[in-house]
Structure 1
């Protein structure tokens, strides 16, 4: 498996990760199906897994995905010492909705709950502030995060759904190694709002969430002629083409596509071997 440096740290992880959300929200699969997905990802060399405290059905189910990932890692027969689990905090799931909560006390508590859900034996590898809450300054929300780093509960810190100005505010409080914003063939904001360029300048890892357009649009990839043709020409799925396109867009990008089936993660890994020329990247870049 090809590896990529995580921010400016001395840690290297797989060049494609695994997103855990599909295994814990909405009509999630049974645990007996999800754990083999995580195990297969590990078999294939994936060493970066993305989760969140809010990857669950609702507030009564909080931290479900973190617990699931910990159980899968604990039951894996191979070496998991190099696996990085990146979690997030700052979103709530009342009645399956998504709402922000940057209250410093809430973040302090959820960091500890995530630490416990992930095993409670070592620092959280990467904790990300899920989305800035306008009711609190970024400095206020990140104060307990900085304290958790100093306390040894968190190893590295990242942010999600942040603008360049907000990333800079976060960097004034605590070291930031990653940014997780939406980026797909339909959602191109990181190309124009300066975030992707800033990540390159600062040596930050960019984690594109919802790379296939989410539950509503991922099937539409088959209907984009440029993507469908490239998939046919290269003998891979349209999903592999999108992942290859993302990787070609910037050296900072580490895709984290979600999966809830073994076949999906096996397909994902094939994207590592797909190389797109500048002309091929441009064909997709003009698709909207």
Structure 2
């Protein structure tokens, strides 16, 4: 597996990660199946797993995905000491909905709960503020995060769904190693709003969420002729082409495709060996 450095940390992780969300939200597989998916990802050399306290059905199910990942890592026969788990906090799941909560008191509590859900024996590898809550200043919300770093509950900090200005505000409070924003053939905002360029300049890892467009859109990738044609030419899936396209966009990018089936993560890993020419990249750009 190809590796890349996480931010400026000196820590190497797999160049493609695993997104845990599909294993814990609606229509999720049985836990035993999900554990097999995670184990297969580890077998394939994946050492970066992305999760969140809110990857669950609702508030009564909070931290489900974190507990699942901890269970999978604990039961894996191989060495997992080099696996980096990046979690997030700051979203709530009332009745299965998604709402923001940047209340420092809540974040302080959910960090401790995530620490326990992930095993409670070592600092959270990366804790990401899931989305800025307009009710609270970023510095206010991140105060308990900085405190958790100082207290040994968190090793590294990232942000998610942040603008350049918001990233800079976060950096005034605590060191940031990663940014996780939406980026796909249908959502190319990071190219326009300066976030991708800023990550390159500041040495931050960029984690594109919903790289295939999410559950509603991923099946429509076949309708983008440039992607479909390249997939046919290269003998790979449209998903591999999208991951290769994203990786071509910036050395800062580390895709984290979600998976709830072994076949999905096996397919995603194949993208490591897919290389697109400048002309092929431009062809995709012109149709998206």
Q: 1:268 deviation in Å?
A: 0.6
Structure 2: how far apart are the matches of 1:145 and 1:59? 21
Give 2:75's aligned residue. Answer: 75
Structure 1: how far apart are the matches of 2:171 and 2:286? 33
Q: Secondary structure at the match of 1:29?
A: coil
* Counterparts of residues 181-192 of structure 1 (less than 5 Å): 181-192=181-192
Give 2:216's aligned residue. Answer: 216
**How far does the alpha carbon of each residue in 1:22-52 deviate from its partner, in whole angstroms, 9 at most, with x for none?**
0000111101110000000000000000000
Q: Indicate yes or no: 2:90 matched with 1:111.
A: no
Q: Secondary structure at the match of 2:168?
A: helix
TM-score (norm 2): 1.00
Q: Indicate yes or no: 2:158 matched with 1:158.
A: yes
Deviating beyond 2 angstroms after TM superposition, the runs of 4 or more aligned structure 1 residues are none
Q: Supply the RMSD in Å over aligned alpha carbons.
A: 0.4
* Counterparts of residues 247-262 of structure 1 (less than 5 Å): 247-262=247-262
Structure 2: how far apart are the matches of 1:287 and 1:160? 27
Structure 1: how far apart are the matches of 2:286 and 2:95? 38
Structure 2: how far apart are the matches of 1:237 and 1:272? 13
**How far does the alpha carbon of each residue in 1:78-98 deviate from its partner, in whole angstroms, 9 at most, with x for none?**
000000000000000001100
Q: Secondary structure at the match of 1:176?
A: coil
Structure 2: how far apart are the matches of 1:236 and 1:69? 29
Q: Secondary structure at the match of 1:286?
A: helix
Q: 1:285 deviation in Å?
A: 1.1
* Counterparts of residues 59-138 of structure 1 (less than 5 Å): 59-138=59-138
Question: Gaps (5+ residues) in structure 2?
Answer: none
Structure 1: how far apart are the matches of 2:6 and 2:216? 30
Q: 1:10 deviation in Å?
A: 1.1
Give 1:178's aligned residue. Answer: 178
Give 2:243's aligned residue. Answer: 243
Q: Indicate yes or no: 2:24 matched with 1:8.
A: no
Give 1:270's aligned residue. Answer: 270
Q: Indicate yes or no: 2:279 matched with 1:285.
A: no
Structure 2: how far apart are the matches of 1:177 and 1:209? 16
**How far does the alpha carbon of each residue in 1:122-175 deviate from its partner, in whole angstroms, 9 at most, with x for none?**
000000000000000000000000000000000000000000000000000000
Question: Gaps (5+ residues) in structure 1?
Answer: none
Structure 1: how far apart are the matches of 2:148 and 2:10? 21
Structure 1: how far apart are the matches of 2:92 and 2:124? 20
TM-score (norm 1): 1.00
Give 1:196's aligned residue. Answer: 196
Structure 2: how far apart are the matches of 1:53 and 1:107? 11
Give 1:44's aligned residue. Answer: 44
**How far does the alpha carbon of each residue in 1:167-204 deviate from its partner, in whole angstroms, 9 at most, with x for none?**
00000000000000000000000000000000000000
Q: 1:287 deviation in Å?
A: 1.9
Q: Secondary structure at the match of 1:8?
A: coil
Structure 2: how far apart are the matches of 1:221 and 1:153? 40
Q: 1:286 deviation in Å?
A: 1.6
